[in-house]
Amino acid sequence: MSESVLEASESGGILTLTFNRPEKLNALNDALTVELIDALRGAEQRSDVRVVVLRGAGRGFSAGQDLEAFVSLSAGPERLSVAEHLRRGYNVVATQIRTLEKPVIASLNGIAAGVGLSLALACDLRIAADDAVLTLGFSKIGLIPDGGGSLMLPALVGLGRAFELAWTSDKLGAEEALRIGLINKVVPAATLADETQAYAARFAAASPVALALTKRAFNRAVIPHFAEWLEEEAVLQEEAAAGPDLLEGVRAFMEKRRPAYAAR
């Protein structure tokens, strides 16, 4: 029997969901996204789940959209609409994370890139190993930050830093990410799993009402238009994907070379 691409484990009211495609740095494909949507729906329905932790198996959290899968989806007469793909997948997940009235914590054990990072930014809290690396990555393949990233990134770090991170796709170490407010806590890599459980346990023992209503309050105060923004983001991403840069960017990644982008 093949292993699941999303593994779930539970302890003390903490549901841990592990992206399980380590050979692909937990790049997200449709199967993983669908399982994640189901798991988050389950977490919402169960009162005994008090905290949700997202993490990755192996040496990364997630490398974002699986680019090989993306190429096959984009090929042929049934060409994928990027906006539609977002609506069916990442936008659902990001909305679930923001509307689940329980703490959702991203535990970053290595690389977090593309929409993998966006989903981590949609979480309420981020704890990272000291050797974790964060990168937007979208601009390298001609795209804009999606999965809510174009809203959560500036909300967390301010507009100036958001532009720099989104446009350069520079890799950020955990300490720098902590300094600019992108993450909440850095711990030694060897203790990340234990530290994550201990961190989550604090919230699992707290008043669920206080936590839920604080999340609702912060959502309404700071990102009241999150769902509407995801739709606008999807439309912008469709426009980005319609040009030649996406194909060139993805080809360059697969051929392990620098992309060559023509002037607009």
Contact positions toward ligand T3D, by CB under 6 A? 24-25, 27, 63-68, 82, 85-86, 90, 111, 113-115, 135, 137-138, 140-141, 143, 146, 253
CB of 245 to ligand T3D, least distance (A): 12
Residues facing residue 133 across a β-bridge? 111, 173
Tell me the closest approach of the beta carbon of residue 64 to ligand T3D, in angstroms. 3
Name residues whose C-beta falls within 8 Å of residue 99's C-beta, 6 or more positions apart in sequence: 219
For ligand T3D, the closer CB: 11 or 72: 72
Neighbours of 142 (CB within 10 A): 19
CA dihedral for 111, 35, 122, 242, sign (positive or negative): positive
To the nearest whole angstrom, how small is the minimum distance from the Cβ of residue 54 to ligand T3D?
15
Nearer to ligand T3D, 1 or 79 (CB): 79
Closest residue (Cβ) to ligand T3D? 114
**Residue with Cβ nearer ligand T3D (7 or 68):** 68
- Phi then psi dihedrals of residue 258, to 5 deg: -75, 140
Rounded (10°) CA dihedral 36, 120, 138, 99: 70
Smallest distance from the beta carbon of 90 to ligand T3D, in angstroms? 6
Structure tokens at 13: 């009211």
Nearer to ligand T3D, 13 or 56 (CB): 56
Cα angle 16-60-239, degrees, rounded to a multiple of 5: 100
Nearest CB to ligand T3D, comparing residues 9 and 72: 72
Q: How far is the CB of 248 from ligand T3D (least distance, A)?
A: 13
User: Taking the CA of residue 80 as centre, how many other CA atoms within 13 Å lie in the half-sphere pointing to its CB?
Assistant: 17
Report the side by side order of strands in the sheet with 60-62.
60-62, 111-113, 133-135, 172-173
What minimum distance in Å lies between the beta carbon of 201 and ligand T3D? 30
Nearer Cβ to ligand T3D (13/114): 114
